[in-house]
Amino acid sequence: MYQDDLFEGETAVVTGASRGLGRSIAHRLATCGADIVVAARSSGDLATVADEIESETGSDVLDVTVDVRNVEAVERLAERATAFGDGTVEMLIANAGANFHAPVTELSENAWRTIVDINLDGTYRCCHAFADALAAANTGRVVTMSSVIGRDGTTESAHYSASKAGIEALSRSLAMEWAERDVRVNCVRPGLVATPGVEENRGLTAETVDRDAVDRTLGHPDEIADLTCFLVSPGASYVDGQTYTAEGVPQRPGSG
């Protein structure tokens, strides 16, 4: 979809890259020439992803184990990524996230805090830690990850919904603050996508997705990767502080 030298000489950091959307996004950016720092809590899966991307694309790949709930760990990630990128990081994809289903009345304080801490606070920590490295780039670009649940809400996911809505507001605020530093910040708001988690919970696999079909509400991880790639590309130079929704055909009246 994009030329293989689009991001040549640039460094991209992708959190939550051991599987799902993060894995697809990291691979897409590497295919377009970027050197990649993949980060996630699962070191074993992460090393496998790093090896695959490096062998399939020829890009340099650094894997860093990090828990975005830990401030010091995120700061170490920024230090290692900045050194890997010769002093700058051009792209940050703050994708790390988590969820589980439970009604509000059964959510403990700790359960609520855990999801908000990973999703919203983790996104803030990553953006905060990489602020100077992004500003040192010719034009820094950030993409954060929301969800249509952050827009619409849903049952048994109030904690997740609130955290994702917060990410959208954070992204708009950062875009306004960082424009003078030549850093663009945008957000992606996916609908239902055939990630490994969706396969485990619903039995829907990426192999069943027909990307040529319009009338569908299930996305492929590569479609979110393509949108993310656009938002960090020169083609999106006039796009800042926006949240882009990718959820297929709009729901028909009465379909819910």
Q: Catalytic residues, which ones?
A: 160
Task: Tell me which residue of 59, 3, 68 sits closest to 34, measured CA to CA.
Answer: 59
Q: How far apart are CA 201 and CA 72, in angstroms?
A: 33
Residues 63-94 as b or e (16 or more Cβ within 10 Å = b): bbbbbbbeeebbeebbebbbebbeebbbbbbb
Sequence-distant (6+) residues with CB within 8 A of 188 are 143, 144, 145, 146, 224, 227, 228, 231, 243, 244, 246
